[in-house]
Structure 1
Amino acid sequence: MAAKIEVEVEVNSPADQFWEAIRDSTNLFPKIFSQQYKSVEIVEGDGKSAGSIRLISYAEGMQGIPFVKFAKEKIEAVDHEKKLVTYSVIDGEILNYYKSFGPTLAVASKAGGGAVVTWSVEYEKLNEDVPEADIIKELAVQTLKELDAYLLKNKKGA
């Protein structure tokens, strides 16, 4: 049976800036989050458009989910107006635990500045012994907060 986890994270970066950073995650994430991402390579497409496939290599002993060494993800949909992107994991260790795993990320402007980032994942466990995806949600929240801090720090230094 499919399940869904969703979390909202308020960030201080403007929505447009945060969205552009998410769009450039192929380049930014290994640079900013070297303790988590060893590399992000574009396998097909441009790495930003629907149909693109990226190969993500995770750092050894990655905090939270050390059992995942790599994931191949396909960008299923991108909506620039709504600042929304949906992925699906098509290969990697995570599929040893989940039949399907599809994160979605949306960035919305917040009144008074900043943005609200909604991260969710729809997944189906291979069996009842597989834990819920809470640990991955925690990692996503941490990544979003650290990306915000990086953008704010580098904006002030510009």
Structure 2
Amino acid sequence: MMSPQNKMSRTDSIWVKVPLKSSPEKYYGFFRNHMGDLVNLFPQYYSSIQLVEGANFSPDCIIQFKYSLGETGGRSLSANVKIKTVDDAKKLLAYNIIEGDVLKHYKVFEVRMEVVNGGTSKGGGGSFAKWSVVFEKANENVAAPEDYLEWFVKICKGVDAYFSKN
């Protein structure tokens, strides 16, 4: 007999827009073609990023990330990430976590990054990166993954600052 807690599961999502000072093409190109460089740019967050299976950064390839959400010496975590979508026209990347620490808390964990070219406006570039996380909690006591979204914002701002200087 099934327990009443086996209700239909549902996914949820959270997202954030981060304004870009750098060129949307350079920003997207970094995440599209040079994601392994995150280890050099953010050694406080990444200890390694390795291609495990497939062709470099194409749909269905699997990349292993060893990372920490904390600034200094946070707990070391790992995730195997499958590239779900690469859409260069829309500057959109989507990844599914298929194995790793985050799946202890979430049944589904998908990260999407889209770069929107806002053209030029009076106040600046108007372009932004939209990071979103689609997730399904493992149980009702698990919080939404706000810590991951905050982490993506820190990385986003760091990459943007790097490209606006270089």
Name the CA distance, whole Å, in 1 between partners of 2:131 and 2:92: 10
**Aligned residue number for residue 6 of structure 2:** none
Q: Does 1:76 align with 2:84?
A: yes
DSSP 3-state at the match of 1:149:
helix
The 8 Å contact of residues 98 and 124 in structure 1, kept in 2 or not, is answered as: yes
Q: Does 1:153 align with 2:134?
A: no
- Residue identity over aligned pairs, in percent, reads 32
Gapped runs of 5+ residues in structure 1?
none
DSSP 3-state at the match of 1:76:
strand
Gapped runs of 5+ residues in structure 2?
1-9
DSSP 3-state at the match of 1:136:
helix
1:47-66 CA deviation, whole Å, 9 max, x = no partner? 3111110000115x7349x4
Return closer, same or farther for 1:5/1:25 CA change in 2, 3 Å cut-off.
Answer: farther
1:17-53 CA deviation, whole Å, 9 max, x = no partner? 1111111343210010110000100011233111110
Which of 28, 44, 63 aligns to 1:19? It is 28
**Aligned residue number for residue 121 of structure 1:** 133
**Aligned residue number for residue 39 of structure 1:** 48
**Aligned residue number for residue 62 of structure 2:** 53
Q: Does 1:143 align with 2:151?
A: no
Name the CA distance, whole Å, in 2 between partners of 1:11 and 1:109: 9
Q: What TM-score, normalized by structure 2, do the two folds share?
A: 0.86
The structure that has the greater radius of gyration is 2
Return closer, same or farther for 1:63/1:3 CA change in 2, 3 Å cut-off.
Answer: farther
Q: What TM-score, normalized by structure 1, do the two folds share?
A: 0.90
Name the CA distance, whole Å, in 1 between partners of 2:67 and 2:109: 17
How many angstroms does 1:152 deviate by? Answer: 1.5
Name the CA distance, whole Å, in 2 between partners of 1:57 and 1:25: 16
**Aligned residue number for residue 143 of structure 2:** 131
Name the CA distance, whole Å, in 1 between partners of 2:59 and 2:104: 25
DSSP 3-state at the match of 1:21:
helix
**Aligned residue number for residue 11 of structure 2:** 2
Name the CA distance, whole Å, in 2 between partners of 1:141 and 1:26: 15
User: Residue type of the partner of 1:48?
Assistant: F
